[in-house]
């Protein structure tokens, strides 16, 4: 499977990375002036672009656009994350690209979608999840909403939804010979992610008050507790049987406590549980809960996570070019994914990438001489 990815930041590259991890041949088309990241970072640390080929092209030139069209002609999927209308102004809109390759799946990833009052407005993850209802639900009662990194809008609602849409559309394209456009909007995906909570809200079992519900940190059995050494444990003992195991390990008697689901006394129950967690270190509690069904785990930072026995046992991290990143997920029994190489610098790799995609060496040399692609090393010999 061949994918042309019009380079951008964040969710578009992550979507392309997922496909590359699964074996797709992904070509990242970067701007000639190259810094697509929005900040300075050594290419090998730019994990979102691992496993991809990379070319930089002057998209302001006619020959540059013609080169991209030639790449699209042999692609199964195109990914772009520009504001609506940018690809059209470049002369690479859906009508043009589907005219070149009628079976092409044209994936568009934006915050607000290709249509609507906000379509041309700038935004980021925090803005999209703000309108979805998700951000308002995250945080302590009486406190400000807390952004959950940029995981929900960019990567879950954006990258993952687009990847699912691309693969579904590719399946349809291979059956019918007809491609289509995927309008992947992070706002759409974020609202979709709220499916369960919207149902709970209408059923009257979810409050709009942050930190007051069963799985938003409001309940004493689905929250975090500090330990004696200033670290934290995560508790997810929702089901009664798991909750009883947790109480047993804590040395608390259920009969002496408020009932688990008596929300009016959750404050008392939380205080009792917190008092016990504060008596031991995180390491001590981890040893006690490890291997049980209490649903209690240590809260690790990114550095600590690397050394956790389960992370090592499952080989969840791989090293490429001296940089550690996540292993491909999910796992396939017959066709496992792999990180084939680290992130390539298009200033160096452009010639080789174009050659691999069938552009004649004489054409590549002409583009380099004209400054439409980086000069880079000449691999023609």
Q: Could you read off the pLDDT of 189-232 as tens digits, one per residue?
A: 999 999 999 999 999 999 999 999 999 999 999 999 999 999 99
**pLDDT tens digits for 227-250?**
999 999 999 999 999 999 999 999
Residues 327 and 271 reside in one and the same domain: no
Which segments of the chain are extended strands (E)?
A: 2-6, 25-31, 53-57, 77-80, 105-110, 180-185, 222-226, 232-236, 296-298, 317-320, 323-326
At 34 the pLDDT is: 54
The CA distance from 68 to 372, in Å, is 11
Q: In this structure, how many other beta carbons lie within 10 angstroms of the beta carbon of residue 59? A: 19
The H-assigned helical ranges of 206-308 are 240-250, 266-277, 282-289, 302-305
CB 210 within 8 A of CB 267: no
Give 380's pLDDT tier (boundaries 50, 70, 90).
Answer: low
Q: Verify that 283 and 355 share a domain, yes or no.
A: no
The boundaries of the domain holding residue 243 are 222-310
pLDDT at 38 > cutoff 80: no
Please give the Cα distance from 92 to 77 (Å, whole number): 14
- What pLDDT was estimated at residue 41? 83
Query: Which DSSP symbol is given to 285?
Result: H
In this predicted structure, what is the pLDDT of residue 379?
Answer: 60
Phi, psi of 158 (to 5 degrees): -95, -75
Judgement on whether residues 89 and 231 belong to the same structural domain of the protein:
no
Verify that 86 and 132 share a domain, yes or no.
yes
Asked if residue 212 is part of any domain, the answer here is no
Q: What is the mean pLDDT of residues 311-334?
A: 96
The reply to whether 325 falls in a domain is: yes
Tally the residues of the chain. 381
> Among 261, 277, 310, where does a domain finish?
310
CATH of the domain at 119: 3.40.50.10540
Looking at per-residue pLDDT, the higher value among 32 and 174 belongs to 174
Could you give the residue numbers annotated as active site?
A: 124, 154
What angle (nearest 5°) sits at the alpha carbon of residue 250, between those of residues 246 and 251?
Answer: 115
Based on the fold, state whether residues 174 and 242 are members of the same structural domain: no
Q: Strands across the sheet with 232-236, in order? A: 222-226, 232-236, 296-298
**The domain spanning residue 236 has which CATH number?**
3.30.1540.10
pLDDT class of 361 with cuts at 50, 70, 90: very high
Closest CA to 96 of 121, 68, 116: 68
Q: CA torsion, points 52, 315, 37, 351, in degrees to nearest 10?
A: -20
- pLDDT value for 9: 87
CA 171 to chain centre: 22
101 shares a domain with 128: yes
| Phi and psi angles of residue 263, each rounded to the nearest 5 degrees, phi first | -60, -30
Residue 378 in any domain: the answer is no
Q: What per-residue confidence (pLDDT) applies to 376?
A: 81
């Amino acid at each position: 499977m061949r994918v042309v990815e019009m380079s951008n930041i964040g969710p578009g590259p992550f979507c392309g990375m997922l496909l590359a991890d699964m074996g797709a041949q992904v070509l990242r088309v970067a701007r000639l002036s190259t810094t697509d990241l929005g900040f300075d970072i050594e290419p090998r640390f730019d994990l979102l672009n691992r496993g991809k080929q990379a070319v930089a092209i002057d998209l302001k030139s006619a020959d540059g656009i013609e080169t991209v069209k030639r790449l699209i002609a042999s692609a199964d999927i195109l990914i772009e994350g520009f504001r609506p209308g940018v690809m059209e102004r470049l002369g690479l809109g859906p009508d043009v690209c589907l005219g070149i390759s009628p079976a092409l799946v044209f994936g568009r990833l934006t915050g607000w979608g290709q249509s609507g009052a906000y379509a041309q407005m700038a935004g980021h993850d925090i803005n999209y999840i703000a309108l979805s209802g998700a951000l308002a639900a995250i945080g302590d009662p009486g406190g400000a909403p807390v952004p959950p990194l940029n995981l929900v809008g960019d990567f879950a609602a954006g990258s993952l939804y687009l990847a699912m849409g691309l693969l579904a559309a590719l399946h349809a394209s291979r059956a019918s010979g007809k491609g289509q456009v995927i309008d992947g909007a992070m706002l759409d995906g974020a609202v979709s992610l709220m499916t369960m909570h919207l149902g709970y809200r209408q059923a009257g079992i979810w409050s709009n008050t942050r930190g007051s519900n069963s799985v938003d940190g409001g309940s004493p059995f689905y929250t975090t507790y500090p330990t004696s050494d200033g670290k934290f444990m995560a508790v997810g003992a929702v089901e009664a049987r798991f909750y009883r195991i947790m109480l047993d390990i804590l040395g608390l008697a259920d009969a002496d406590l408020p009932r688990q689901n008596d929300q009016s006394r959750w404050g008392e129950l939380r205080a009792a549980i917190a008092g016990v967690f504060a008596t031991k270190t995180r390491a001590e509690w981890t040893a006690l809960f490890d291997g049980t069904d209490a649903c209690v785990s240590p809260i690790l930072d990114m550095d600590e996570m690397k050394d956790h026995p389960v992370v090592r046992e499952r080989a969840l991290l791989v090293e490429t070019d001296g940089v550690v990143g996540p292993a491909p997920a999910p796992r396939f029994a017959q066709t496992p994914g792999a990180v084939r190489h680290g992130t390539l610098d298009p200033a160096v790799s452009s010639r080789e990438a174009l050659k691999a995609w069938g552009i004649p060496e004489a054409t590549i040399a002409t583009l380099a001489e004209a400054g439409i692609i980086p000069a880079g090393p000449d691999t023609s010999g």
